[in-house]
Structure 1
Amino acid sequence: MALSKSFQKGQVPLACQLCEESNEIKWKCIQCDFLLCTKCQRLHEKVKSTDQHTIIDIKDIASHQKQTTDKLDFSNIPCGIHAGQTCCLYCKSCEVVVCPLCITTVHDKHKMIELAKGYELTMKTIKMCNSEIDKKLVQTVKVLSEIGIFKSSEDSKYEIEKQKIMSREKDLKNEVEKHTNKLLKELDQKKEILMKSVNDAEIRSEKIKTDLDFRKKNLSNALIYNNANQVFSIHSEEKTSRNQSVEHVETTFKKLPKFVPGKQVVEDFYLGSLVEIDENKNQFEFEVIKQYKTKLPLVENLVWCGDAQMWISHLKSHKLQKMQLTNESLKKMHSFKIDVYNMALLPSGDLLLSTKESNLKILSCTTSKVEPSKYSVNPLITLAVHVTSDHKILVSAKENQSKHYPVNGPRKVIMMNIDGRIENVYHTNNKGKQIFTVPRRITTDNDNNIYVIDIHDEDWDGRILALVKTNGVRWIYSGNPDINKEHTFKPKDLVVTKSDNIIVTDQSNHMIHIINTSGQCIHYLNTKDQLGVHFPTSLDIDNTGILYIGCYTYNSEPDEAKIYTVQVSGF
Structure 2
Amino acid sequence: MNWKSRIFSTEKKYLKDEVEKHTNKLLKELDQRKEILMQSVNNARNRSQKINKDLDLRRKNLNQALNSNIANQVFNIYSEEKISRQQRIVPANPKFKKLPKFVPGKNVVQDFYLGELKESDDDQKIFEFKVIKQYKTELMVVGNLVCCDDRSIFITGYPSLILHKLKLTNESLCDLHTFKTNIFNMALLPSGDLLLSTKESNLTILSCSTSKVNPTKFSVNPLITLGVHVTSDHKILVGVRENQPKPFPVNGPRQVIMMSMDGEKEKVYHTDNKGKLIFTFPYRITTDNDNNVYVIDILDEEWRGRIVALDKTNRVRWVYTGNPDINKKQTMKPQDLVATKSDNIIVTDYHHHMIHILNTTGQCIHYLNTKDQLGINPLSLDIDSTGTLYIGCNTYNSEPNEAKIYTVSGF
Q: What TM-score does the superposition give when structure 2 sets the normalisation length?
A: 0.76
Whether the aligned pair in 1 keeps the contact of 2:271 and 2:278 (CA below 8 Å) is yes
Higher strand share: 2
SS class of match (1:528): helix
Change (3 A) 1:302 1:329: same
CA distance in 1, matches of 2:179, 2:156: 9
- Please say if 1:495 is aligned against 2:375: no
**What runs of 5+ residues in structure 2 fail to find an aligned partner?**
5-10, 64-68, 71-90, 99-121
Q: Which stretches of structure 1, 4 residues or longer, exceed 3 Å deviation after superposition? A: 143-154, 156-181, 272-282
CA distance in structure 2 between the aligned counterparts of 1:356 and 1:401, rounded to whole angstroms: 10
Which residue number in structure 2 is paired with residue 228 of structure 1? Answer: none
Q: Which structure would you say has the larger RCO, counting Cα contacts within 8 Å and 6 or more residues apart?
A: 2
1:512 aligns with 2:355: yes
Q: Which amino acid aligns with 1:523?
A: H
**2:358 matched to 1:478?**
no
In the TM superposition, what are the counterparts of 1:254-273 in structure 2 within 5 Å? none
- Please tell me whether the aligned partners of residues 350 and 378 of structure 2 are also in contact (alpha carbons under 8 angstroms): yes
Relative to structure 1, the CA distance from residue 401 to residue 277 in structure 2 (aligned partners, 3 Å threshold; closer, same or farther) is closer
Counterpart Cα distance in 2 of 1:332 and 1:275 = 37
How far apart, CA to CA, are the structure 2 residues paired with 1:144 and 1:478? 26
Q: Return the offset for 1:158.
A: 3.7
Instruction: Report what 2:32 is aligned to.
Output: 152
Question: Counterpart in 2 of 1:444?
Answer: 287
User: Is the 1:154–1:518 contact (alpha carbons within 8 Å) kept by the matching residues of 2?
Assistant: no
Aligned residue identity for 1:351: L
CA distance in 1, matches of 2:370, 2:266: 39
Alignment pair present for 1:560 and 2:398: no
**Paired residues of 2:149 and 2:385 also in contact (CA < 8 A):** no
Identity %: 60
2:181 to 338, 343, 348: 338
Q: Distance in 2 between matches of 1:491 and 1:163?
A: 26
- Maintained 8 Å contact 1:153/1:519: no
SS of equivalent to 1:152? helix
- 1:328 is displaced (CA, Å) by 2.2
On the 8 A contact 1:315/1:341 being kept in 2, the answer is no
TM-score, structure 1 as length reference: 0.56
Looking at CA atoms only, which structure, 1 or 2, has the larger radius of gyration? 1
How far apart are the structure 2 equivalents of 1:79 and 1:154?
46
CA-CA distance at 1:324 after TM superposition: 1.3
Equivalent position SS for 2:165: strand
Residues 414/145 of structure 1: CA separation in 2 closer, same or farther (3 Å cut):
farther
Q: 1:347 to 1:474 in 2, by over 3 A?
A: same
Q: What SS does the aligned partner of 1:357 have? A: coil
Residues 463-483 of structure 1, C-alpha deviation per residue, up to 9 Å, x if partnerless?
Answer: 111102111210011000101
Alignment partners' CA distance in 2, 1:289 and 1:175: 34
Distance 1:557 1:154, change over 3 A: same
Q: Which residue of 2 aligns with 1:347?
A: 190
Partner SS state of residue 133, structure 2: strand
Q: Secondary structure at the match of 1:430?
A: coil
Match of 2:275 among 432, 436, 441: 432
Would you say the 8 A contact 1:545–1:568 is kept in 2? no
For these two proteins, the number of residue pairs brought into alignment is 356
Q: For residues 322-362 of structure 1, give each alpha carbon's deviation from its aligned partner in whole angstroms, at most 9, with x where no partner exists.
A: 11112222121111111111100011100001000111110
2:81 aligned residue: none
> Which of residues 546, 554, 560 in structure 1 aligns to 2:388?
546
Amino acid at match of 1:457: D
Q: State the AA in 2 paired with 1:320.
A: L
Query: Given the superposition, is the C-alpha separation of residues 398 and 390 from structure 1 closer, same or farther in structure 2, using an over 3 Å criterion?
Result: same
The alignment status of 1:399 with 2:242, answered yes or no, reads: yes
Counterparts in 2 of 1:358 and 1:273: CA distance versus 1, 3 Å: closer
- 8 Å CA contact 1:351–1:363 kept in 2: the answer is yes
Pairing 1:35-434 to 2, within 5 Å after superposition: 148=28, 151-159=31-39, 162=42, 279=98, 280=122, 283-314=126-157, 317-434=160-277
Q: d(CA) in 1 for partners of 2:339 and 2:59?
A: 34
Where structure 1 has 5 or more consecutive residues not aligned to the other structure, the ranges are: 1-77, 81-128, 184-188, 191-271
Residue 557 of structure 1, CA deviation: 2.4
Indicate the residue corresponding to 1:54 in structure 2: none
For 2:104, the equivalent position in structure 1 comes to: none
Distance 2:25 2:53 in 1: 42
Given that 2:97 and 2:365 are in contact with CA atoms closer than 8 Å, whether structure 1 keeps it comes out as no
Change (3 A) 1:273 1:508: closer
- Output the CA distance in 2 between the equivalents of 1:276 and 1:514: 11
Displacement of 1:176: 9.7
1:376-404, Cα deviation, whole Å (9 max, x unpaired): 11111100111111111111111111211
